[in-house]
Amino acid sequence: MAPTPPRNTSTRVHVVSDVHGNARDLARAGEGADALICLGDLVLFLDYADHSRGIFPDLFGAANADRIVALRTARRFDEARDFGRRLWAEAGGEPRELIEGAVRKQYAELFAAFPTPTYATYGNVDVPPLWPEYARPGTTVLDGERVEIGGRVFGFVGGGLRTPMNTPYEISDEEYAAKIEAVGEVDVLCTHIPPDVPELVYDTVARRFERGSRALLAAVRRTRPRYALFGHVHQPLARRMRVGATECVNVGHFASTGRPWVLEW
């Protein structure tokens, strides 16, 4: 009898980003995969496509959500902040406590939906100090760190850079660059925000350039990972493009698509 040939083995990883409260699809996102990777933005504070969804309209109503979205879209950020302050003053509650309570409710549902194993990093609207309370065994949180999956090295850098939007996890360019440096050379570089390439950072619906990282772009050019995976820009001008030897991929706005991006080798 002829010997049985060795079976071909492969590794399949599903990648999501910008979950923004979509726990239903998140619970199915790891089906058929050896691991799930989440690139952050679990929290839904305000849905720019449906102003009735999110923490803000739950607290202040859809009409006020319409108003603040209009101000931000027009880049009238000072007016938007003043408007928000008036709403909080009229509510009579402590903003930090009200927001944290709403975030905790979302995190309890979203972290419970993660399959095992999940590798996750923070988005710019996430609240990192709360994650250890909700990350169960089987969920590994990484930020400026590396992990091996199926024989390939994945590096993770979370958060966003500072903007007038003042979202919860925005850090300085210097702090972000230090995390990129700490990751070093990897096969797959996983971040929440994209490299600072115009086609990758421009949102065609919001009609604005989001903040990408120059340090990330420099690292991609210098270390030449096979892939650079990210999210953050919901409707990008280009969803993928090559930068030197690296395939740069926006894995998609999971909140609206409900579909993970698939990497298999």
What pLDDT was estimated at residue 12? 98
List of residues 6+ apart from 8 with CB closer than 8 A:
none
* pLDDT computed for residue 22 by the predictor: 96
Instruction: Give the pTM.
Output: 0.90
pLDDT tens-digit map of 114-135:
999 999 999 999 999 999 999 9
| Chain segment 154-174, per-residue pLDDT in tens | 999 999 999 998 899 999 999
Q: Could you tell me which residue, 73 or 185, shows the higher pLDDT?
A: 185
Contacts of 158 (CB under 8 A, 6+ apart): 39, 40, 121, 122, 123, 126, 128, 142, 143, 169, 191, 192
pLDDT of the residue at 93:
64
Q: What is the pLDDT of residues 63-115, one digit of tens each?
A: 988 998 888 888 888 898 899 888 888 877 666 778 888 899 999 999 999 99
Task: Fill in the DSSP letter of residue 236.
Answer: B
Alpha carbon dihedral 105, 155, 222, 224, in 10-degree steps, equals -110
Contact 45, 54 (CB under 8 A): yes
Quick: pLDDT tens for 209-257. Answer: 999 999 999 999 999 999 999 999 999 999 999 999 999 999 999 999 9
For 42-46, 108-112, 146-150, which range has the lowest pLDDT when averaged over its residues?
42-46
Strands 118-120 and 35-38: parallel
Give pLDDT tens digits for 22-38.
Answer: 999 999 999 999 999 99
Q: Is the pLDDT of residue 8 over 70?
A: no
CA distances from residue 257 to 16, 18, 78 in whole angstroms, order as listed: 10, 10, 32
Question: CB-based burial of residue 122 (10 Å sphere; 0-12 exposed, 13-18 middle, 19+ buried)?
Answer: buried
Query: Where is pLDDT greater, at 51 or 39?
Result: 39
Q: What does each C-alpha distance from 145 to 157, 182, 218, 231 come to in angstroms?
A: 7, 7, 18, 18
Length of the chain: 265
Q: Return the pLDDT at 1.
A: 44
Residue 264, SS3 per DSSP: strand
Q: pLDDT grade, residue 58 (50/70/90)? A: confident
